[in-house]
Amino acid sequence: MIRAERPLRSNFQPGTSRWAVRRAQWRALGLSEEEMARPKIAIVNSSSDIAICFAHLDRIAAAVKEEIRAAGGLPFEIRTTAPSDFILSAGRRATYILPSRDLIANDIEVQVEGPQLDGMLLLASCDKTLPGQLMAAARLDIPAIAVICGYQASGRMPDGSHVDIEEVFLHAGHVAQGAMSPERLTEMTEHAIRSPGVCSGMGTANSMHSAAEALGMTLPGAAPVAALSAAMWDQARAAARRIVAMVHEDLRPRRILTPAAFRNAAAVVLAQAGSINCIKHLQAIALEAGVDIDLWRLFAELGPRVPVLTAVRPIGELSIEAFEAAGGARAVMAELGDLIDGGALTVTGRTVAETLAGHRSADPAVIRPRDNPFATTPAIVILRGSLAPVAAVAKVGLPRPGRPRRHRGPAIVFDDPAAAEAALSAGRIGPGAVVVLRGQGVRGGPGMGGASRLVFALDGAGLGAEVAVVTDGQLSGLVNKGLVIGEVQPEAAEGGPLALVHDGDVIAIDIDSGRLDLEVSPETLAGRARGFAPPPPVTDSGWLSIYERCVTPLSAGASLIDRARSR
Tell me the catalytic residues: 476
CA distance 299 to 284: 15
Alpha carbon distance 188, 165 (integer Å) = 9
Give CA–CA dist 407/433, Å, rounded.
9
Q: Whole-angstrom Cα distance, residue 23 to residue 538?
A: 46
Indicate the helix (H) or strand (E) that contains 77. Answer: strand 74-79
How far apart are alpha carbons 175 and 132 in whole angstroms? 34
For residues 118 and 243, give the distance between their C-alpha atoms in angstroms, rounded to a whole number.
10
In terms of Cα–Cα distance, which of 80, 76, 92 is closest to 54?
A: 80
Distance CA 457, CA 475 (A): 14
Which amino acid is it at 526?
Answer: A
Question: What is d(CA 420, CA 415) in angstroms, rounded to the nearest whole number?
Answer: 8
H or E element that contains 522: helix 522-530
Dist. CA 34–CA 545, nearest whole Å: 46
Please state the φ and ψ torsions of residue 49, each to the nearest 5 degrees: -85, 0
Alpha-carbon Rg for the chain, nearest whole angstrom, is: 24
User: How many CB atoms are closer than 10 A to CB 558?
Assistant: 27
Q: N- to C-terminal Cα distance for the chain? A: 51
**Contact yes or no for 370/307 (Cβ under 8 A):** yes
User: In terms of DSSP bridges, do strands 40-45 and 74-79 run parallel, antiparallel, or are they unpaired?
Assistant: parallel
Which residues neighbour 16 within 8 Å (Cβ) at sequence distance 6 or greater? none
Q: Which whole-number Å values give the CA distances from 476 to 203, 314, 479, 489, in the listed order?
A: 8, 11, 5, 18
Opening angle at CA 363, ends 359 and 364, nearest 5: 95
Could you tell me whether strands 380-385 and 484-489 are parallel, antiparallel, or unpaired per DSSP bridges? unpaired
- Cβ(381)–Cβ(403) under 8 Å? no
Longest dimension (CA), the chain: 77
Strands 484-489 and 388-395: antiparallel
Which amino acid appears at position 557 of this protein? G
Phi-psi region of 557 (alpha: psi -120 to 50; beta: other; left: phi over 0): left
**Three-state DSSP state, 113:** helix
| Contacts of residue 345, Cβ cutoff 8 Å, sequence gap at least 6 | 216, 255, 256, 258, 261, 351, 352
Q: How many Cβ atoms sit within 10 Å of the Cβ of residue 487?
A: 30
